C-alpha cells in the first residue's frame, strides 16, 4: 500500500486517484479551489468535473500542499500545463527526496516553450529526472472513472521509476506500458491537442471523414517532424502516446479541444468557445507555444500555423482551409525528412 498525494482536483486527477484508491492505496487530493474540495468531501463525488463517479473511502481531501504531500511515496501533478510551474514551486519543499513524481499535464509552457519535464528540471535540478515519470496515452477521465478499459504508458529516463508507476496503476481495466522517450511522449501529448482543435473546426464547418482523416494524418506527420528535431524517437509517435492519443482526442466529444474547435468552426469567437467549454482547453495555449517553438527549431508545421492563426482571430477558419489545400505540391514521404 502506497501513500499518494495528488495536486489538482480536476477530472483527470480525480479519475487517476480512483484507479489507485481502488487498489487499496491511500490518496490525498489538494486543489487551490477550497470550495471545490469541500464539495468533493461533502458529496464524495467530483460534481463539477467528474459527475457520477463515487469517491473511494481511500480518497481524502487535503487543504494544503503540505497536508497532501506529507509522507507521500508518490506525488501526482494534475494541474493544467500553464500552471505546472507554480504548482511545483509551491509543493517543492513538501516532496520527500525519495518520492516518485508523476506529471499528467499535456502542454508546452507559453513564453519559455518548455516541456513539463524541462520545467521540473529547472525547479528541482537534473537529479529529479531519475524519479520523474510522465503518464500519457488515449485516456478520457470520464471513461477511466467509470472503470472502462483504458491503456496508457509511463515514460521516464529511469525505467525502474517507470515500472514502479506501471505497477502502481496496473489493473484489469487500466493497462500500462513503459517507455523511455520522455521527449516524444510529452510532445505527442501536447501537440495532439492542436490537431484536435483543427478536427473540431473541420466538424463544425460541416466537413466529412475525408477531411478529418487527412488532418489527423498530416497533423501526426508534423508532430513527428518537430519531435525528431527536438530529440524524440519517431516510433514513439506511432504508439499510444502519439497516434493513440491523437485518435481519441480528435474523435471524441469527451475532448475539450475538439468541442472548442467545433464551436469555432460554427462561427463562435475563440475566446467565447473556450469559455463555453468550462474547463481548460490546453490546445489554445499550446498552439501559440508550438507555433513559436517550430519557428525557433526551423520546422515546417503548416497545420499548426493555420490553427494558431485561427485561435488568435488572425485568420478565418474558411480561409485556413484554402491555405492548407492550395499549398505547393509535395511528396508525401521524404526520406530526408525535408517536409
Count how many residues are written for the chain. 339
Given 28, 106, 114, 192, which residue is catalytic?
Answer: 192
What's the distance, CA 338 to chain centroid? 28
* Residue located via cell numbers 484489469: 172
Q: What are the residue ranges of helices labelled H in the chain? A: 11-21, 34-43, 65-69, 84-91, 116-124, 141-144, 159-169, 182-204, 209-229, 245-251, 256-265, 270-277, 282-297, 302-311, 317-325
Q: Under DSSP, is residue 303 helix (H, G, I), strand (E, B) or coil?
A: helix
Is 70 one of the catalytic residues?
Answer: no
* Residue located via cell numbers 492548407: 324
The Cβ of residue 129 has, within 10 Å, a number of other Cβ atoms equal to 19
Q: Mention every residue, 6+ apart, whose C-beta is less than 8 A from residue 335.
A: none
Q: Measuring CA to CA, how many Å separate 243 from each of 102, 135, 220?
A: 22, 15, 7
Cell matching residue 258: 475538439
Q: Mention every residue, 6+ apart, whose C-beta is less than 8 A from residue 14.
A: 29, 40, 46, 49, 50, 53, 55, 141, 145
- Known catalytic residues? 192
Amino acid at each position: 500500500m502506497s501513500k499518494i498525494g495528488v495536486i489538482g482536483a480536476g477530472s483527470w486527477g480525480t479519475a487517476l486517484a480512483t484507479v489507485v484508491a481502488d487498489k487499496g492505496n491511500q490518496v490525498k487530493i489538494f486543489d487551490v479551489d477550497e470550495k471545490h474540495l469541500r464539495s468533493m468531501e461533502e458529496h464524495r463525488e467530483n460534481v463539477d468535473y467528474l459527475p457520477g463517479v463515487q469517491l473511494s473511502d481511500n480518497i481524502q481531501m487535503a487543504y494544503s500542499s503540505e497536508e497532501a504531500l506529507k509522507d507521500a511515496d508518490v506525488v501526482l501533478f494534475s494541474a493544467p500545463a500553464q500552471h505546472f510551474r507554480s504548482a511545483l514551486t509551491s509543493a517543492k519543499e513538501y516532496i520527500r527526496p525519495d518520492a516518485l513524481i508523476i506529471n499528467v499535464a499535456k502542454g508546452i509552457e507559453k513564453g519559455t516553450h518548455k516541456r513539463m519535464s524541462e520545467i521540473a528540471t529547472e525547479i528541482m535540478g537534473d537529479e529529479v529526472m531519475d524519479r520523474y515519470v510522465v503518464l500519457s496515452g488515449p485516456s478520457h477521465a470520464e471513461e477511466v472513472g467509470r472503470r472502462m478499459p483504458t491503456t496508457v504508458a509511463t515514460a521516464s529516463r529511469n525505467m525502474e521509476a517507470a515500472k514502479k508507476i506501471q505497477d502502481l496503476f496496473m489493473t484489469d481495466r487500466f493497462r500500462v506500458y513503459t517507455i523511455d522517450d520522455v521527449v516524444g511522449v510529452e510532445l505527442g501529448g501536447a501537440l495532439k491537442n492542436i490537431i484536435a482543435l483543427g478536427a473540431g473546426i473541420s466538424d463544425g464547418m460541416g466537413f466529412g471523414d475525408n477531411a478529418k482523416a487527412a488532418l489527423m494524418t498530416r497533423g501526426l506527420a508534423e508532430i513527428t517532424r518537430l519531435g525528431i528535431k527536438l530529440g524524440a524517437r519517431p516510433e514513439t509517435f506511432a504508439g499510444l502516446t502519439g497516434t493513440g492519443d491523437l485518435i481519441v482526442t480528435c474523435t471524441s466529444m469527451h475532448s475539450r479541444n475538439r468541442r472548442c474547435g467545433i464551436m469555432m468552426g460554427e462561427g463562435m469567437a475563440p475566446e467565447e468557445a473556450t469559455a463555453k467549454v468550462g474547463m481548460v482547453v490546453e490546445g489554445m495555449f499550446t498552439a501559440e507555444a508550438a507555433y513559436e517553438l517550430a519557428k525557433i527549431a526551423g520546422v515546417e508545421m503548416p497545420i499548426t500555423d493555420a490553427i494558431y492563426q485561427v485561435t488568435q482571430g488572425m485568420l478565418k477558419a474558411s480561409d485556413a482551409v484554402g491555405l492548407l489545400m492550395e499549398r505547393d505540391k509535395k511528396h508525401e514521404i521524404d526520406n530526408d525528412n525535408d517536409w
